[in-house]
């Protein structure tokens, strides 16, 4: 049975995107070969990437470009190769290769996917999807990279969560660029 993972950068004050959807803060750190290898390793798998429309359009506009292929070749290769699912009621066509557009209920579709044979799934960004699926107890693991920056404004990854979500820390890793990876799993 496939597992569902979340991978997101978060600021020290808890935002996964800055004001107006800005993500530049997550990448504006000193170069770090160990961190780059960590990211490339994450992109090397055969998982299924899940996105909401906003994150999908941002990723689809960057990863297939020559700029992405030159800046982070292993990550670009993985992002372009992996199967992608975009959940959207407003998007009419998916433009990025290997993408399936799903207009159905997110939780019902993910529940169905988790009960079928297949590869693990990873949500990148897509805070509204993270919140919906966390409320339904469908997320098996949260991999958060804390970036040493305070944004002051932005969107919290768990907006809309009204009940306590208990997690236990299963792994940590720190990098010389100041980023810290924290991996959590639900306790129940």
pLDDT at 188 over 80: no
Q: What pTM value is reported for the model?
A: 0.92
Q: Are the C-beta atoms of 155 and 127 separated by less than 8 Å? A: yes
- What are the tens digits of pLDDT across the range 3-13? 999 999 999 99
- What are the tens digits of pLDDT across the range 111-161? 999 999 999 999 998 888 999 999 999 999 999 999 999 999 999 999 888
pLDDT at 29: 80
Q: Are the C-beta atoms of 39 and 27 separated by less than 8 Å? A: no
The whole-angstrom separation of Cα 80 and Cα 62 is: 10
The whole-angstrom separation of Cα 159 and Cα 71 is: 32
Q: Which two tokens stand for residue 8?
A: 């997101």
Q: How confident is the model over 8-35, as a mean pLDDT?
A: 90
Q: Which two tokens stand for residue 102?
A: 């799903």
Q: Which two tokens stand for residue 110?
A: 């993910």
pLDDT at 45: 79
- What are the tens digits of pLDDT across the range 49-105? 999 999 999 999 999 999 999 988 988 999 999 999 999 999 999 999 999 999 989
Q: Are the C-beta atoms of 85 and 100 separated by less than 8 Å? A: yes
Q: Which residues pair with 185 in a beta bridge?
A: 168
127-135 and 106-114 helices cross at what angle (nearest 10)? 70
Domains of the chain listed by start with CATH number: 4-186 (3.40.430.10)
The whole-angstrom separation of Cα 14 and Cα 35 is: 20
Q: How confident is the model over 13-30, as a mean pLDDT?
A: 89
**Residue found by looking up tokens 């897509």 in the block:** 126
Coil/strand/helix, residue 147: strand
Q: Which is higher by pLDDT, 79 or 31?
A: 79
Q: Which residues pair with 171 in a beta bridge?
A: 183
- Average per-residue pLDDT in the chain? 92
The whole-angstrom separation of Cα 68 and Cα 4 is: 26
**Residue found by looking up tokens 């990098």 in the block:** 175
pLDDT at 37 over 90: no
pLDDT at 11: 96
pLDDT at 86: 96
Coil/strand/helix, residue 125: coil
């Amino acid at each position: 049975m496939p597992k569902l993972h979340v991978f997101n950068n978060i600021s020290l004050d808890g935002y996964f995107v800055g004001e107006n959807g800005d993500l530049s803060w997550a990448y504006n750190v000193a170069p770090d070969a160990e961190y780059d290898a960590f990211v490339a390793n994450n992109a090397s798998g055969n998982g299924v990437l899940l996105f909401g429309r906003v994150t999908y359009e941002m990723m689809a506009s960057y990863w297939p470009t020559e700029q992405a292929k030159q800046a982070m070749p292993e990550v670009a290769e993985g992002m372009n190769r992996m199967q992608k699912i975009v959940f959207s009621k407003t998007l009419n066509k998916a433009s990025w290769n290997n993408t399936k557009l799903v207009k159905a209920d997110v939780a019902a579709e993910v529940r169905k996917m988790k009960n079928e044979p297949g590869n693990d799934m990873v949500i990148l960004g897509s805070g509204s999807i993270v919140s919906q699926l966390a409320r339904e107890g469908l997320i098996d693991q949260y991999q958060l990279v804390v970036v040493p920056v305070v944004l002051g404004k932005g969107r919290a990854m768990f907006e809309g969560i009204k009940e306590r979500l208990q997690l236990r820390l299963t792994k940590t890793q720190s990098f010389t660029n100041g980023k810290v990876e924290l991996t959590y799993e639900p306790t129940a």
